Amino acid sequence: MRRRQFVAAAAASTVLAPLGARVLSAAPPPQAITPALIEAAKKEGKVTYYTAMDLSVAEPMAKAFEAKYPGIKVAVERTGAERLFNRIGQEVGSNIRRVDVANSSDAAHFIVWKRQGWLEPFLTPDMAENLAADQRDPDGAFVNQRTHLSAIAYNTRMVKPEDVPKGFVDLLDPKYSGKLVKGHPGYSGTIMTATQQLAKALGWEYFEKLSKQKVLQVQSATEPPKRIEAGERAIAVDGSDYLFWMAKERGAPIEVVHAVEGTPQVSNPMAVFKASPNPNAARLLVGWIMSPEGQEFIVNVSGQYPANRLVKAKAGRPALASIKTLPEDPLEVEKTADEIKTRYQRYFKV
């Protein structure tokens, strides 16, 4: 089922606001992390966290939260962002209350969920003070958990220095035929976001030409880093850049390329769901992840760029401001997601 059709169907089966309705609200007063909230969360004893973040980061983060708050178990449910979106829609449509907190690499999802009235606004005083306006919804419905890029990368043992691509257009050179791997916008929010940005910057004719390069097509943005590290392909057209960097830091022969045309930038919002079966634990988890302690944990483990301005980027990584990035446009992604999937499938036959 297509995205717009699916969301409309889910809305019809609930008492939530219909698709396209304007939701007027205001950010609630910040809610402190109090002993009473912690005690209520411990009585719930668990929190279910849906995410598109790679398990190599999500699971250690969950363990750190559990160590901080003994007695609260985090159930990490990891899948591609586009599948995560469909799963939540199916669950809401069937009145299944499972998700407490969701984190997606497709920011357009939160536009839809907010419009549907599915999100519970929540900010702590720290979040209200230390998240810039562009890192949080003005009504407090969601916040940006972290930022990463969808970058080109290559295996240094398989690509000679003189053959290193400088950007996306370079990848159309016949010498790269059969050497490329990339993720799919029908599965990955990172790739959906990146595809919209590249189609706007380079035109759909770029993807039509790229599809003729005998590209190894995988699903998740987490897969290209693993495929080039294993030597299955020499160059990743796209992928979550933090996994390229993590691989390089553990000794893998990988280098990241920031394209001359600009590298797609991907925000990763997070929200508490209004129908959360564990609302106190959900608030506690979001509050901790967005605190300096939680943000530093994500930075230290993965090097993703933090949203909390009290936290510095990881040493040794290029500053985000120093990288030429393509503009992110979640509103346009929300409008064109079905078209993006259709055109992509037409060219790549997958």
pLDDT at 88 over 90: yes
The one-letter code for the residue type at 140 is G
State residue 27's pLDDT score.
79
Distance between CA atoms of 300 and 280, rounded to whole angstroms? 27
Q: Encoding tokens for residue 328?
A: 């992110």
Q: Encoding tokens for residue 199?
A: 């189609």
pLDDT tens, residue by residue, 276-303:
999 999 999 999 999 999 999 999 999 9
Same domain? For 134 and 63 the reply is yes
Q: What is the pTM of this model?
A: 0.92
pLDDT at 16 over 70: no
In a domain, 322, yes or no: no
Between 2-6, 20-24, 325-329, the lowest mean confidence (pLDDT) is in 20-24
Note the Cα 12 to chain centre separation in Å: 27
Residue with tokens 């897969």: 223
Q: Encoding tokens for residue 165?
A: 């691509």
Same domain? For 140 and 282 the reply is yes
* Among 276, 266, 344, residue whose Cα is nearest residue 113: 276
pLDDT at 19 over 90: no
Same domain? For 180 and 211 the reply is yes
Distance between CA atoms of 96 and 109, rounded to whole angstroms? 19
Same domain? For 188 and 291 the reply is no
Burial of 32 (0-12, 13-18, 19+ CB in 10 A): exposed
Calculate mean pLDDT across residues 58-62.
98
Distance between CA atoms of 197 and 194, rounded to whole angstroms? 5
* Higher-scoring residue by pLDDT: 54, 6: 54
Contact of 106 with 186, CB cutoff 8 Å: no
**Where in the sequence is the domain holding 212, given as residue range(s)?**
149-265+332-348
State residue 331's pLDDT score.
97
pLDDT category of residue 28 using cuts at 50, 70 and 90: confident
In a domain, 324, yes or no: no
pLDDT at 21 over 90: no
143, β-bridge pairs: 136, 270
Distance between CA atoms of 327 and 304, rounded to whole angstroms? 18
pLDDT at 18 over 90: no
In a domain, 326, yes or no: no
pLDDT tens, residue by residue, 110-158:
999 999 999 999 999 999 999 999 999 999 999 999 999 999 999 999 9
Distance between CA atoms of 16 and 14, rounded to whole angstroms? 5
Same domain? For 25 and 64 the reply is yes
Calculate mean pLDDT across residues 6-19.
34
In a domain, 94, yes or no: yes
pLDDT at 23 over 90: no
Same domain? For 170 and 127 the reply is no
pLDDT at 11 over 50: no
What does pLDDT average to over the chain? 93
Calculate mean pLDDT across residues 91-112.
97
Same domain? For 216 and 290 the reply is no
In a domain, 119, yes or no: yes
pLDDT at 6 over 70: no
pLDDT tens, residue by residue, 201-251:
999 999 999 999 999 999 999 999 999 999 999 999 999 999 999 999 999
In a domain, 325, yes or no: no
Helix 55-68 and helix 241-249: axis angle, to 10°? Answer: 80
177, β-bridge pairs: none
Q: Which 8-state DSSP code applies to residue 150?
A: B
Same domain? For 257 and 274 the reply is no
pLDDT at 24 over 70: no
Same domain? For 36 and 141 the reply is yes
State residue 293's pLDDT score.
98
Same domain? For 167 and 30 the reply is no
In a domain, 323, yes or no: no
